Structure 1
Amino acid sequence: MRIKAAIDKVPGGMMLIPLLIGALIRTFLPGIFELPEFKSSFTGGLLTGTSALLAAFYICLGSTIRFQATGYILKKGVSLWVGKIGTTFLIALLIKAIFPDQNHLFLGLSALAIIAAFSDTNGGLYMALMGQLGKKAEDVAAYSIMSLESGPFFTMLILGVAGLASFPLLAFVFAILPLLLGMILGNLDEKMREFLSKGQDVIIPLFSLAIGAGINLTNVVKAGFSGVILGVAVVVVTGLVLFIIDRITGGNGVAGIAASSTAGNAAAVPMAVAAVYTGYSEIAATATLQVTAAVIVTAIFTPLITTWYAKRVEQRKATV
């Protein structure tokens, strides 16, 4: 049986399919989560151990982030990173100013879902696109800076600074600590980087299964539609902003459009944030579905738009 090949045909399949399996278990077999035998078992730990699995994932992810960067990598990576985080922060301020109920804005979207989807770039997608369409290898390496977006830290920071949530200082420290630990280990020892980085792909379906086990599918249709709108908004808004920033900093705009996506691990952020700030606990499951939908939408539209624009750039060069 070619199970992995079939899963890989689905955009974000290694995250989406286990998440749906977990959601099916929660929806149709909710009673097992209350059984003492289940709670004390390895199966119970797998389906409810989201925090532990995410902590392990962020250590592995952090190991891939390099401290050193050349001038071009630094300029490209920092400009796109600041553009992504800055745009998300401005959106958070607008939400705070315009909407009195940040948990239910419109189409079922919440501030939590919007900020989580907007603040994290799909690194694998960006590197694949720039490896094919970029003008130099350093365009790919720029993601070493942008990968700082990964995890719940900046989502929490933006929500907190914008006044959309309140987090104790230690919450920020503990949220970023696994990522920092991975970064330190990966930069001190190349063999540790190689070893830990392999864990990302293994842990993604495991934490997705646990996240799904906290979701009731009765809300999936509504969340899915609003998630599609969220994904389109991410591509349009961040694509335009990052395109302009890329052009201003000497690029041709391709890298900016290639970064207009939502990372797969962003789907884990709502649950991670809700674990710290109880004000989001009731909407975390819906926000997870919305961000997951945004991941899929951006995984489809971002490559299409990036490739189309890159071809236009090449056509202009050919006519000059």
Structure 2
Amino acid sequence: MKIMKRVEKIPGGLMVVPLFIGALINTIFPSLAEYLGSFTLGLTTGTTPILAVWFVCLGASISLKSTGVVLRKSGTLLVTKVGVAWIVALLSAKFWGNGMIESGFFAGLSTLALVAAMDMTNTGLYASLMGQYGTKEEAGAFVLMNIESGPLMTMIILGTAGIASFEPHLLIGIVLPFIIGYILGNLDEDIRKFLSQAIPVMIPFFAFSLGNSIKLTVILETGLLGIVFGLAIIVVTGIPLIITDILVGKGNGTAGIAASSTAGAAVATPLLVANMVPEFAPFAPAATALVATSLIVTAIVVPIITGLYAKNAKSFSSLNRNEDKGNMAV
């Protein structure tokens, strides 16, 4: 039936198709996995353990010689993502302060919603995309980017960092699987080869599990604004990320596009922030709905445009190499 070839023809197909199938199942039959239980339930709710194993394999695939590249990549993307969210927060605060737009097409939009959707990258999605379209070092850039996870960066950007608390042991828990794989892979070349084979295989399993945490109906709750909001997140963060990836990260911009998504953890951020800062409570529900829609929109659109961009970027790179050879011949 050539299913694999058809999926691969779709930009980001290994990620998009399983994710959409999972979201569709969760939307139409939300209790099916719990009803079936056992391994089926594990497959649909196993995002965290699947990613944990995937990160071990990813860490094993990166050699000691390329560590500097990983840090440069992750640092560039982290600073750019948070920096853009900070600038947007400053600009939006001038128009409606720390409140929310109450009426019109943009009703429900707030600084809290903008920052929560922008300052956190879906690192699992990013790592999976770069595992397919980028280098091992670019995929490994998720390590430092995980600092964005949780409400900490959102609180800092909103100017209330003194209220939020950051637990260092949580960061250790995030990077430990990667470090274990990294150590094993550099101690034994055979281990690196063995674990590296699992990197592309696990991408569709992670995508399917992630899809089962999403309901497509959330788009209806926010309407056209939610869709526009999600697309705007990609544009506003994606352009600076592409530029810095090329100029600072020394890439071709693909990593920048792949990092322009909204993280799944960001959906919980508005309510977490509201619990710590009560003045945000009145518009936290609207912000949550918008961030959830942005998660869905970016999870679907980012893999597609990343695949298209990567294809053109490779063509452009080939053209440049041919021109350089022609100039050398002359």
Query: Is the structural similarity TM-score above 0.5?
Result: yes
AA of the residue aligned to 2:245: L
CA distance in 2, matches of 1:183, 1:160: 30
SS in 1 for 2:248: helix
- Counterpart of 2:308 in structure 1 is 300
Is 2:25 the counterpart of 1:11? no
Matches of residues 274-285 of structure 1 in structure 2 within 5 Å? 279=272, 282=288, 285=292
- Counterpart of 1:290 in structure 2 is 297
AA of the residue aligned to 1:67: L
In structure 2, relative to structure 1, the CA distance for the partners of 1:288 and 1:61 (3 Å cut) is: farther
- The CA deviation at 1:8 is 0.9
- Counterpart of 2:156 in structure 1 is 162
AA of the residue aligned to 1:84: L
Matches of residues 234-273 of structure 1 in structure 2 within 5 Å? 234-245=237-248, 255-262=251-258, 270-271=263-264
CA distance in 1, matches of 2:110, 2:155: 22
- Counterpart of 1:68 in structure 2 is 65
CA distance in 2, matches of 1:22, 1:145: 27
Matches of residues 210-225 of structure 1 in structure 2 within 5 Å? 210-220=209-219, 225=228
In structure 2, relative to structure 1, the CA distance for the partners of 1:226 and 1:273 (3 Å cut) is: closer
Find the structure with the greater CA-based Rg. Answer: 2
Contact 1:88 / 1:115 at 8 angstroms: preserved in 2?
A: yes
SS in 2 for 1:63: helix
Matches of residues 120-159 of structure 1 in structure 2 within 5 Å? 120=126, 122-124=129-131, 127=134, 144=137, 147-150=140-143, 153-156=146-149, 159=153
Contact 1:239 / 1:260 at 8 angstroms: preserved in 2?
A: yes
Contact 1:61 / 1:179 at 8 angstroms: preserved in 2?
A: yes
AA of the residue aligned to 2:15: M
AA of the residue aligned to 1:294: V
TM-score w.r.t. structure 1 length?
0.71
CA RMSD of aligned residues (A): 4.0
- Counterpart of 1:41 in structure 2 is 38
AA of the residue aligned to 2:20: L
In structure 2, relative to structure 1, the CA distance for the partners of 1:58 and 1:111 (3 Å cut) is: farther
Contact 2:89 / 2:111 at 8 angstroms: preserved in 1?
A: no
Provide the aligned length of Structure 1 versus Structure 2. 288
TM-score w.r.t. structure 2 length?
0.69
CA distance in 2, matches of 1:196, 1:107: 43
- The CA deviation at 1:215 is 1.0
SS in 2 for 1:46: helix
- The CA deviation at 1:160 is 6.3
- The CA deviation at 1:105 is 5.4
SS in 1 for 2:253: helix
- Counterpart of 2:282 in structure 1 is none
- Counterpart of 1:133 in structure 2 is none
CA distance in 2, matches of 1:81, 1:230: 19
1:8-47 residue CA offsets vs partner (Å, 9 max, x unmatched): 11111111111111111111112435x5x43x42211211
In structure 2, relative to structure 1, the CA distance for the partners of 1:317 and 1:109 (3 Å cut) is: farther
Contact 1:245 / 1:256 at 8 angstroms: preserved in 2?
A: no
In structure 2, relative to structure 1, the CA distance for the partners of 1:190 and 1:156 (3 Å cut) is: same
In structure 2, relative to structure 1, the CA distance for the partners of 1:80 and 1:206 (3 Å cut) is: closer
- Counterpart of 2:280 in structure 1 is none
- Counterpart of 2:21 in structure 1 is 21
AA of the residue aligned to 2:177: P
CA distance in 1, matches of 2:253, 2:207: 27
Contact 1:117 / 1:234 at 8 angstroms: preserved in 2?
A: no
SS in 1 for 2:17: helix
Contact 1:230 / 1:290 at 8 angstroms: preserved in 2?
A: no
Instruction: After superposing the two structures, state which structure 1 stretch, 282-291 or 3-12, moved more.
Output: 282-291
AA of the residue aligned to 1:13: G
- The CA deviation at 1:84 is 2.3
Runs of at least 5 residues in structure 1 that lack an aligned partner in the other structure: 128-139
- The CA deviation at 1:96 is 4.5
